[in-house]
Structure 1
Amino acid sequence: MTSRGIKISRRGFIAAGTAALASPAFIRHAKAQEFVCKIAHTEGIGTPITNAFDAWAAAMNEKSGGRIDAQHFPAAQLGGLAEALEGSRIGTIQVTTAGPDSEEAIAPEIAAFGGAPGFIYKSEEHVDRVLQGELGQKCSDIARAKTGVEFVAYGETGFRHILAKRPVGNLADLAGLKIRVPQLRIWVDFWSLLGTAPTPLPYSEQYSALSTGIIDAIDSDVFSIVGFKFHEQAQHLTLTGHWFLPKAVRVNAAWLDSLPEDLRAMVRETAKEAFAEQRRINRANAAKTLEDLKGLGVQVQQLPAEELAKMEEKTAGLFDEFGSKSPETAEMIKAIRALG
């Protein structure tokens, strides 16, 4: 065998080829492709959902054999919720989390899965019947088709309550209360019907807004109150459970589709495992965290049942109003409530 006039024996050719295969340059070239997975969200450090993302990122890195490089940026390190949502849609980040109600403008039929418009979820068991079954998969399918993200799992922050600078013991105490709301129309309407002065603000601005008096109150789960130290600025917690917030684990669909089949399956499987454990921990630790808040000086009271009934009655019309966005939205609200 010759090459450019140089005579090479067959044995020499095979030896040369073997040497080339073993060379560092060839090994670098043959190394499996690495897929960067930036996980960015606004959840607090040390909260069950942030810990679940830590566990999930570690599982992806390990089980992919290094082919996925999962990087975790909690507590709004890469921007607020609006930036995280947009980034997950266009692929500048690969993963974030938010309530399905964040899709109100794009896919109103799945916004109700995020607890909108209040009092839609009756218990944790009700949440599981909805999100861990056929409806939860349907929600993910719609999100993929309309927003470019896939809901690979559902975590949760749990039931939300009112944290205020002054005591709230009944509906009359809500009059004129400047309460922070998500930048979503449905929550402005919800709190307006209850007589408050709803103030739309990004999630990351709540602490400073409480400090400066821009707002008098927020609604929050107990873990976030501790994680973001909201109790330093407001020390009256009224248990209402008006809103249960599931957290969809949102993966950019184009990134997910770019993975080899085995990695796609692994990403989905490990997400479900990590966030099943997150839900278990969240529910097991809620009562303890409430006691921790009391130890931090927070005054806790349960809103009386008759006052809760009034809250629900005053806002019940939002189901019809929200459902009027489309026949699909009305059908989805009906299906969620039927499982309660």
Structure 2
Amino acid sequence: MKQTAKRAYGVVLASALALGSLTAATTATAKEFRLGLITPPPHTWTKAAKAFGDELKEASGGKHSVAVFPSRQLGNEAQMIQMLQSGSLDMAFLTIAEVSNRVPDFGAFYAPYLAKDIQSAARILRSDAAKDLLKTLPKKVGVVGVGYGMAGLRQIVSRDEVSSADDLKGKKLRITPFEPIKDFYNAVGVAPTPMPLPAVYDALANGQVDAIDMDVELIIKLKYYDHAKTIVESNHMMFPMVGLVSAKVWKNLSKEERAQISDLMGKHLDGVINTYTELEGPWLAKMNALDVKVIKAGPAFFTSAIADWEKIWGDKAPALKKLREAAQ
């Protein structure tokens, strides 16, 4: 764990130096950092954020603390990135979705079946290829990337009976609003429908959407299966998260503070990866034990959609080749 944290710290320092001004001496002051997320309180990401804050407070002798704002309390991810850029938000645990909207190379993480299983997803996120992408964030987005976490692989929950991808065509399917997943589902033939997490349960219940793209943790914890006739266990896409610090906030931290924050945040981000590698299997077992039809689906289920996605993103996300190598 310590070696992982040290590697994460090295990535952060290399990224920070790209800002130029970050090497200037700074005066350390006590601060309560604000950290935003879109996930609800029971979610693994939110728990990790709170654990990071608790440990930072203890390690700093009470000098620094972290106020965690889950469930989009501070806005959606696009708004939180803007707040990070302005320095009005200190930190965030965000899906890579919004980052990929600004740096298309991050879209490579969403290649269908890039990760063969949850262990493969972990290898990708811990790879040098993934860490190299973090180094581009200070200049391109105005944020410092500390490290990666993830959610489980993606599944499809449908209000209706599903036996093939044809049964999904024309259906309104809830997605996280970002281009790589939208392009994938457009290729499948559904109507991708962006929707924030807090609205998903009711939307599935009242038919505002016909299906949802979701990780197994939230399928179980938020009981999306209550309004489903079919769950497609497809594991078709990994869903990474990135821990970010505002570059404007970062440059005003001392060297020691940067080391402490990156070390502890990196530790808890890596702990998120460990959590999913350990619990994905048990969660899938629970999902398969539900009183809901569960069908298994592999790449062939999506017919030509995967090749269509590759035509769009192969050139837009050149990091894809190196990430594929890391997945092996």
Task: Please indicate, yes or no, whether the TM-score normalized by the shorter chain is above 0.5.
Answer: yes
Q: 3-state SS of the aligned residue for 1:57?
A: helix
1:252–1:94 CA distance, 2 compared to 1 (3 A):
same
- Contact 1:100–1:112 (Cα < 8 Å) also in 2: no
Matched, 1:321 2:321: no
Q: CA deviation at 1:106?
A: 2.0
Moved more, 67-76 or 207-216: 207-216
Q: Distance in 2 between matches of 1:45 and 1:157?
A: 15
Deviation for aligned residue 1:242 = 0.8
Is the 2:125–2:149 Cα contact (8 Å) retained in structure 1? no
Q: 1:333 aligned to 2:320?
A: yes
Q: Considering only aligned residues, what root-mean-square deviation do their CA atoms show, in Å?
A: 2.3
Aligned to 1:303: 296
Residue 96 (structure 2) pairs with residue 103 (structure 1): no
Q: Is the 8 A contact 1:157 1:246 kept in 2?
A: yes
Q: Verify: 1:200 aligned to 2:194, yes or no.
A: yes
Whether the aligned pair in 2 keeps the contact of 1:42 and 1:203 (CA below 8 Å) is yes
Q: Which has the larger radius of gyration?
A: 1
Tell me the amino acid that sits aligned with residue 215 of structure 1: V
Alpha-carbon shift at residue 310 of structure 1 (Å): 4.1
Give the length in aligned residue pairs: 301
Deviations 1:249-279 (A, max 9, x none): 1221221221111111011111121122222
Q: Deviations over 1:277-325 (max 9, x none)?
A: 2222222222333344466x551523244xx324164322322312333
| Aligned partners of 1:161 and 1:240 also within 8 Å | yes
Identity level (%): 24
Paired AA for residue 37 in structure 1 = F
In structure 1, the partner of 2:167 is 173
SS in 1 for 2:237: strand
* Cα offset, 1:227, TM superposition: 3.7
Q: Map of 1:33-48 to 2, 5 A cutoff? A: 33-48=29-44
Instruction: Output one character per residue of 1:53-110: Cα deviation in whole Å (capped at 9) or x when no partner.
Output: 1111111111112221211111222223332233223222222222323223321112
What residue in structure 2 maps to residue 136 of structure 1? 130
Is the 1:160–1:221 contact (alpha carbons within 8 Å) kept by the matching residues of 2? yes
Query: In 2, distance between residues paired with 1:141 and 1:91?
Result: 19
Larger RCO (alpha carbons 8 Å, 6+ apart): 2
Greater mean deviation of Cα atoms: 121-130 or 139-148: 121-130
Q: Does 2:180 align with 1:186?
A: yes
Which residue type is aligned with residue 49 of structure 1?
W
SS in structure 2 of the partner of residue 121 of structure 1:
coil
Aligned to 2:84: 88
What's the CA shift string for 1:95-154, capped at 9, x where partnerless? 2222323223321112223x2x42222233433333213212211111222111122121
Q: In structure 1, what residue type is equivalent to 2:220?
A: V
- Name the counterpart of 2:150: 156
**Structure 2 counterpart of 1:284, one-letter code:** E
Deviation at 1:215, TM superposition (A): 0.6
Contact 1:222–1:289 (8 Å) recurs in 2: yes
Query: After TM superposition, which residue ranges in structure 1, 4 or more long, deviate above 6 angstroms?
Result: none
TM-score of the aligned structures, taking structure 1 as reference length: 0.81
* TM-score, with structure 2 as normaliser: 0.83
Q: Which moved more, 1:164-173 or 1:97-106?
A: 97-106
Give the gaps of 5 or more residues in structure 1. Answer: 1-31
SS at match of 1:153: strand
Q: Which moved more, 1:78-87 or 1:212-221?
A: 78-87
| CA–CA distance in structure 2, aligned partners of residues 179 and 286 of structure 1 | 23
SS of alignment partner, residue 152 of structure 1: strand
- Are the counterparts in 2 of residues 36 and 68 from structure 1 also a CA contact under 8 Å? yes
